[in-house]
Each structure stands twice: as structure tokens, then as C-alpha cells.
Structure 1
């Protein structure tokens, strides 16, 4: 009598062809499941192509809205990439984004600095605030080994409560019944590009993407990050400045998330509101995974995800599709990518075993 046993064996080498094929397959599977979800939720199949592609990427109004939504998504994608390349799970991107928005608003409402430098000061304040917010879990991680998942997540709740406290208290616009801050002055708003709501923050996002690509792929720091991300013990043994590199990249992650919040309030809202940055943590992680932690690939990935958000708004208005469906589709794409990439790295074998007969000597 024989039996069968499943074994899992890690592949010594994964070819570029196998890696690329499985990645594309996982992406297509995730999108296919997402389409099935949309159809089951009531979206008409006849208009899905027009709603999801044509109106979002090939019409002037749709493309402008998609690019506007992509600006903060690019930065949160880069923020997640910066941290997760070192296996630091920054799940507090929303909190850092809110602190960045608060920092920019503080500069605007207090009229800090000269008017000619107000915008750069607001952007700098947003980046510093985001970096400061992630510094707490970073220090606890390095000094006491505290899990960053717990601390970054809890700090997001603290950040939201702080946001609520300011908007319902000292910063509430007295002439508005909603919990929003006073509107920023003209010199505290990013210039409009005359293409829908798209603003000059797109240039900031593109420039930072280029700088991040150079940092990660062309600099010594990028080499350090790769080694530390693969094996921290080996990095320490070879004399790589592990603590300094981790500190730099994690603070950079918080700064990028904070800058995303600053660009939202300076470029789009022109005031602080309580609705900014919702679901940006999950979106940033999804973008980072789909882009394979490559800063340059974050750019098109964020634009496609912004298009999905844009299309989700249309589906909500015309067909009653809830916003949660868009988040569900993101999760399905992420899960299928993870599963397919797992099987590209591991080999599953079915082994046949012969059962030992009674009285037969063991071998």
C-alpha cells in the first residue's frame, strides 16, 4: 500500500521569465476577480469598459481627475516602498498624512514666515510633521524591539483624534457649519495647471519619484537597503551602517506620507478637513506590492489605482456601487499577486511513499 505526501521546496533560482509571467498572471487574475465582483454588485457589463477605461483615462475631464487623485497616491506608495524594502511595516501612513496636513495648516493659519516662502514652508512643515510622527515607532523598534505594526496603527488613531480636536475646536471655521478650517489665502495654494483640478503638486510627485529611484537604484544607500532588507545579520557583520540606514529610510517614509497630506490640503482642499487621507495606508501598501517596491514602477501603479478610484466614484453615483467595493478589488489584486508569487518561489511536489508492512524491518 502506498500513500502520497505533499512537499514544499524553495526554488534556488527564479528565472526572470517565470517571475514576470507569474506577476502578470496574478495581476490579471486579481483584475478578473474584481470585474466579477463589480458585475455581481450590479454594474452593467455593457458599460464597464467605458466607465473603467475610456472615461477615466481617455477623456479630458476623467484624466485630469485621475491625475489629481494620483498625486498623493504616488507619495504614499513611495512611503510604503521606502519602509517595506527594509521590512518595516508602516501601517500608520494615514496618521503621518494627517500630521502632514496639520503641519501645513499650522503654517498657513499662523502666517508663519514671509509670504513669498509660505508655500515651500508649508510643504517642509508637512514633511517634518510626518517624519516626526513615524519617529516614535522607529525609536521604540530600534531601542526596545517594539512591533511597529502595533505602534504605527495606534498612532494613526491618535492622529485622527488630534485632527478632530482641532477641527471641532481651535481651527474650526466660524463661518462654516462643517468641521473645516478657514480657507487658505491665495499665496498658500498650489497653482492650478488649467486642466481640471490638477495642480503643480504633480511636479513635486514626479520629482520625488525620480529622486527616490536614484536613491534606491543608483546610490550606496540603496545598496545598503537591499542588503539590510535581505539579511540584517549579514549587513551588521559586513560593517554596513544598519541603524543609520534604517533611520534614514523610515524617516523618509514618514516625510513622504506627511508631504502627501500637505499636497492634498494645499493643492486640492485649500483647507484642513476630516475626510482627507481615508484608506491611504492600504492603498500605499497595495501600490508598493504591485510595483514590487520599485520607486519608478510606483508612478504608473498609482495612476492606475487613481483611475480605479475615479471610476469607483462614477459607479457609486450611477449604479449605487459602494466605495467598499473598490477597497475589496484592491485587496483581491494584492492577495492574488501574493499567492501567485509564492508559487513562483516555491515548488510543490507530490511524493509517493510505500507503506511499511508489519514485521518488515525499517529502512
Structure 2
């Protein structure tokens, strides 16, 4: 009888079971998403062409996918490092906006020598993102204020700050549109000569490599896992729980700020109202699908970038709405999460 059945958490799910559940959930989510797009008027052949051929198997499409993946990888890493210590950073877009503001200030005001201007933009953007998450972190550690609410509110405030600047002192004087003037060449990432791809790629590779090593092969990763699984037990064992939380949460904000600088210095070359839109949900999707593992985050970011690249084509030529593209992402995420439930719990019946 169903009233005699109950869920039992597996002590250590086998890698085979976890892998099968993950792959099954991913394939199911992709299948449902494909069915939704076909129902919306996109043929099956067009899905293959746009999501595989045009995004990975052509030179132009692959360069667009790689370019779009750079900020996605950074915000995915941002969500992941906070997630490792059970801090729910729902203000990623706000920290991204602050990073873009800091980078724009350096670019427009011509701060520092030209040869150091771009590195200064990146450093100040990271500091701005870290500073923007510091208040929610302090509120949680001091009074237990819900981090979901505080980071979300600060994200909205950051967008209002951007609006104030774009409709005020930074408004483009020649067109009177709510965008800034274009950055000088010294404040832009140089192009690598392949589509829009720029040398921000090296920044993302370096950040990913350092985080991968730190989280997988140093004490930081051990401390983060211990705090994430059971902070009280880690505290009792003498681990630096508070310091670990502070360090990784501030790092999360810094990575989001760095993503903002990568966008404005790499592709947009100015600050506008759309620079940070849509990155919060994407960051959460990437971190969860990659299970907060840095290398996997890069791969998932590439896949999601392909969805964005193909989605732009579908919106133009097939009339697919932005909401449908978001629905595809959500469908895949929910399917994987549901599948992971079966690898984490087993159904048992009382005798």
C-alpha cells in the first residue's frame, strides 16, 4: 500500500546511477523542448540545423557561441561558488550591473594610463561586484536575513542605478539615447580575429583554471564542501566556517562583476539598459546542470550559449518568442532536477 511506502535518502549514490539519471533527465528535457519548438512551428530539420550545425559546425556560428559563452561561464561560476556554501545569490544581475558601471566609469573618465586601463576596469569591476554582495552577506551573518530576498532586492536597486546614470550624466549626448558613448580602443578587449571573439577568452580560461584547482585540490574546496553539507558539524570540527563563507560569497560577487566588465569591454563597448538582462536565470541553470563543478560549468555555458545563438535565429526567422527560449531552458533544468531526485532517494516499504 502507498501509505506504507516512504523515501529513504541514499547514503552514497553510485556514480553509474547518478550518471544515468543525469543523462536521462537531460535527454528527456531536450526531447520535451524539441517537441515544444516543433509545436510552435519549427521543423525538426530546422532544429538540427540551428542548434547543432549553425552553432558548432560553422566558423561564424562557433565564434558567436564562444563569445556568448564567456559571460555565461563567469556568472555560472559565480552562482556555483556561492552555492557551495549554501548562500543563494539571486542578485547576480545586480552585481553584474555594478561591475559594468565600474568598468564604464574607468573607460569614460580615462582613469589611469591607457596601457593599464583595461586591467583596471576588470579589477574595479570585480571589487564593485564583491562590494554589492557584501551587504546581504553581512545581514545574513549578523541577523540571519534571508539571502534570497536581500540579494534580489539589491539586484533591482542596481538596475535603478543604471537607469539613473543612463538617463542622466552618462546619456549619449549626440543621440540623446539612454546609452553611454562608445569606449575608446584602450578600454576594449582586442579581437582575436575570429568573428566577435575577443581576448576576454583568456580571462575566462584563467579564472576557470584557478577555481578548478582551488576547489578540487586545495583546502578551500574541502572547507567549502564541509560547510555546504553541514556548517554546524564543520564548526565543531574546528574548520574556519565563517571565513570560508565570507571568502566564497565575496568571490561570487566579484565573478559577477567581472562578467559585467567582460560584456561591456568585449562586445557592447558601452553601457546600455540591456547589458545584464537574463543572466540570473542562466547562471542558476548553468550551476545546477554542471553540479557546481568549474570545468562542467564551462561546457554547460557553451551549450546554453548555443541555445541563445540558435534562439536569436529562431526569433527572427520563425517568430519564436523570448519566453519560448526561456521555457526551453527551464524545461531542461526541471527535468535534470527531477532525475537527480531518483538518484538521491529510493522508495522503501515498511514490512
What TM-score do the two structures reach when normalised by structure 1? 0.95
CA deviations over 1:101-125 (Å, ceiling 9, x no partner): 0000011111111111101001111
Q: Where does residue 94 of structure 1 map in the other structure?
A: 93
> Mapping of 1:157-172 within 5 angstroms?
157-172=156-171
* Residue 76 of structure 2 corresponds to residue 83 of structure 1: no
Secondary structure in 1 aligned to 2:5? strand
Q: Where does residue 43 of structure 1 map in the other structure?
A: 42
Q: Where does residue 209 of structure 2 map in the other structure?
A: 210
**Higher CA-based Rg:** 1
- Greater CA deviation, 97-106 or 335-344? 335-344
Partners in 1 of 2:343 and 2:69 — Cα distance?
A: 31
Contact 1:89 1:148 in 2 (8 A): yes
CA deviations over 1:341-362 (Å, ceiling 9, x no partner): 111111123557xxxxxxxxxx
Partners in 1 of 2:67 and 2:3 — Cα distance?
A: 55
> Mapping of 1:127-206 within 5 angstroms?
127-206=126-205
Partners in 2 of 1:81 and 1:221 — Cα distance?
A: 14
Partners in 1 of 2:326 and 2:2 — Cα distance?
A: 43
Tell me: CA distance 1:43–1:350, structure 2 relative to 1, closer, same or farther (3 Å).
farther
> Mapping of 1:275-294 within 5 angstroms?
275-294=274-293
Q: How many residues align?
A: 351
Structure 1 runs, 4 residues or longer, greater than 4 Å off: none
Contact 1:4 1:351 in 2 (8 A): no
Secondary structure in 1 aligned to 2:7? strand
Unaligned stretches of 5+ residues in structure 2? none
Q: Where does residue 335 of structure 1 map in the other structure?
A: 334
Partners in 2 of 1:237 and 1:53 — Cα distance?
A: 50
Secondary structure in 2 aligned to 1:193? strand
Partners in 2 of 1:268 and 1:145 — Cα distance?
A: 39
Tell me: CA distance 1:270–1:4, structure 2 relative to 1, closer, same or farther (3 Å).
closer
- Greater CA deviation, 314-323 or 41-50? 41-50
Secondary structure in 1 aligned to 2:4? strand
Partners in 2 of 1:333 and 1:137 — Cα distance?
A: 30
Q: Where does residue 62 of structure 2 map in the other structure?
A: 63
Q: Where does residue 121 of structure 1 map in the other structure?
A: 120
How far 1:171 sits from its partner (Å)? 0.4
CA deviations over 1:131-160 (Å, ceiling 9, x no partner): 000001000011110000000000111000
Tell me: CA distance 1:44–1:177, structure 2 relative to 1, closer, same or farther (3 Å).
farther
Secondary structure in 2 aligned to 1:214? helix
Partners in 2 of 1:297 and 1:63 — Cα distance?
A: 19
- Greater CA deviation, 42-51 or 302-311? 42-51
Partners in 1 of 2:2 and 2:148 — Cα distance?
A: 42
What TM-score do the two structures reach when normalised by structure 2? 0.98
Contact 1:94 1:277 in 2 (8 A): yes
* RMSD (CA atoms): 1.2
Unaligned stretches of 5+ residues in structure 1? 353-363
Q: Where does residue 314 of structure 2 map in the other structure?
A: 315
Q: Where does residue 265 of structure 1 map in the other structure?
A: 264
How far 1:4 sits from its partner (Å)? 5.3
Secondary structure in 2 aligned to 1:173? coil
How far 1:177 sits from its partner (Å)? 3.5
